Amino acid sequence: MQKKLQIAGYVLFLSGTILFGFMHLAIALYQPHLGGWSSPPGKIATLLNQIDGWVPYVLSILFLCGGGCLILYDLWFSEQKER
């Protein structure tokens, strides 16, 4: 069970990192086509609205946080097991 939890944490963290990178690549590629942005939301929020990228962007952050939490839990549990 412990090995599966560790693998799940690494897979979530890696997939979140890749998705986060792809989203920033999409933002960078679409930025020259941006006509203008309003001051309160800013550049990234305006671009995410225009390319409908909020779902994958938030999902990538959730994957990163979830994978990181699973990895930290696994490290903490293995440390407690050694004591």
pLDDT of residue 14: 97
Closest CA to 43 of 58, 56, 59, 27: 27
The stretch 38-52 carries a mean pLDDT of 84
- From 31-35, 38-42, 57-61, 74-78, the region with the lowest mean pLDDT: 38-42
CA distance 47 to 67: 27
Rounded (10°) CA dihedral 25, 29, 31, 32: 160
Q: Coil, helix or strand for 30? A: helix
Asked whether 16 and 69 are in contact (CB, 8 A), the reply is no
Nearest-5° Cα angle at 59, 46 to 4: 160
